[in-house]
Chain A
Amino acid sequence: MAKFKKKKSGELPAVSTASLPDIVFMLLFFFMTVTEMKNDELMVDNVLPTADQVQTLDKTDKNVVYIYVGKPHPRYQSKYGSLPRIQLNDKLESVSAVAPFILSERADMRQEVQATMTTALKVDNETNMGLVSDIKQELRKVNALKVNYSTKQGDAMNNLD
């Protein structure tokens, strides 16, 4: 009959941490790939209205153009005033700059997604509709007809005060 060797008593073996860097790297790569750096620094106040009949904006084709509208941030108010302005990329522009901006953004897109280009309007909820209507007219001029009024998910009745 075989004899069982008696185990050495006590002393738990130390857990090897050699694979710790591997695990951390794995996590690191995950976050590196899913991270989306904000490409536009917001220069305007941008509190979006709420709505509940929303659809998610499909960004996989990279055919979305963002237009931000709102009051200039207090930092910029000495330069641009306090009336709502339009932010295109990193500049505050007037309405007439919207059409050329859309055309140049569309020209930078891949050919096959140009037709489905969507304009995401991120408009501050205190903005007057006059400015938004002007933007919409500009978009119609350059035939950028697909728009998405960006909202937060929530009850639309919250918009009323």
Chain B
Amino acid sequence: MARREIPEVNAGSMADIAFLLLIFFLVTTTIETDVGLDRKLPPMEEVDSEVTIKERNLLQVLINKDNALMVNEEIIPLEDLRQRAIDFLDNGGGTNDKGETCDYCQGARDETSSVHPHKAIISLVNDRETKYKTYIAVQNELVAAYNFLRNREAQRLYKTNFTTMQDDYNDPKTSDAQKDVLKNRIENIQKMYPQYLSEAEPRKN
């Protein structure tokens, strides 16, 4: 029996099939990056010893169930919160635990406001009926206040923004050597303006 030649498969429709698949993946693709506010919750362990905080070192931010904002017993619009927080953190009216004055603060050095960024604490209390979007807006403004001060110091010391340093640090393209430098700098700035943002336990009433 004569050997039969195997007929060649027609590949003309290959492009069509590939196009079909291509269009399917084009349509289903979502190249999205999730963004959000990074926060750290306090650990659960109860601290036995009561820590006394002087009133001047505490910025009380209260959001009620009607989404109104009260800072230190005073009702203010959300637009003013950022500046209030910056003024409070940057006041530098005294010394920290080691007795150092805040030589990088540019605040008013008011007698009634915080003594040092290391001692300044922002306390955020919200009601159970507060809307989530208001809470996020307030969080955003408080983070913005910290970022503003940290950016200012980063500009002064390293001629770059704190937030860009953070982005570069998280970028997988950054080399390890650069990361070490960045990590040092970021920690330095964080030490100057540490984020003491206390969120009270939800009120039980």
- Separation of A55 and B37 alpha carbons in the complex (Å): 6
Question: Tally of A-B residue pairs with Cβ under 8 A?
Answer: 169
- Separation of A59 and B31 alpha carbons in the complex (Å): 13
Smallest CB-CB separation from B141: which chain A residue?
A156
- B170 pairs with A157, CB closer than 8 A: no
- Of B30, B31, B134, which contacts A160 at CB under 8 A? B134
Residue B126 is within 8 A (CB to CB) of chain A in the complex:
yes
Residue A137 is within 8 A (CB to CB) of chain B in the complex:
yes
* Chain A positions 34-55 with a Cβ under 8 Å from a chain B Cβ: 34-38, 49, 51-55
- B15 pairs with A156, CB closer than 8 A: no
- Separation of A54 and B147 alpha carbons in the complex (Å): 11
Separation in Å of the B100 CB from the closest CB of chain A?
29
Residue B108 is within 8 A (CB to CB) of chain A in the complex:
no
Residue B131 is within 8 A (CB to CB) of chain A in the complex:
yes
- B18 pairs with A25, CB closer than 8 A: yes
Smallest CB-CB separation from A139: which chain B residue?
B41
Residue B44 is within 8 A (CB to CB) of chain A in the complex:
yes
Number of interface residues of A (CB under 8 A): 60
Interface residues on B, range: 35 or more
Residue B29 is within 8 A (CB to CB) of chain A in the complex:
yes
- B38 pairs with A55, CB closer than 8 A: yes
Separation in Å of the A84 CB from the closest CB of chain B?
9
Chain B residues with Cβ below 8 Å from A59 are 34
Residue A73 is within 8 A (CB to CB) of chain B in the complex:
no
Known: A55-B38, A151-B35. A129 touches B15 (CB 8 A): no
- Of A127, A150, A159, which contacts B34 at CB under 8 A? A150
Chain B residues with Cβ below 8 Å from A144 are 41
- B36 pairs with A57, CB closer than 8 A: yes
Residue B129 is within 8 A (CB to CB) of chain A in the complex:
yes
- B25 pairs with A28, CB closer than 8 A: yes
CB-defined A-B contacts under 8 Å, sample of 29: A21-B14, A21-B18, A24-B19, A25-B18, A28-B18, A28-B22, A28-B25, A36-B30, A53-B140, A54-B37, A55-B38, A55-B167, A55-B170, A56-B167, A57-B33, A64-B34, A120-B34, A120-B36, A123-B132, A126-B133, A127-B132, A129-B126, A132-B132, A143-B43, A146-B38, A147-B41, A148-B34, A149-B136, A156-B136
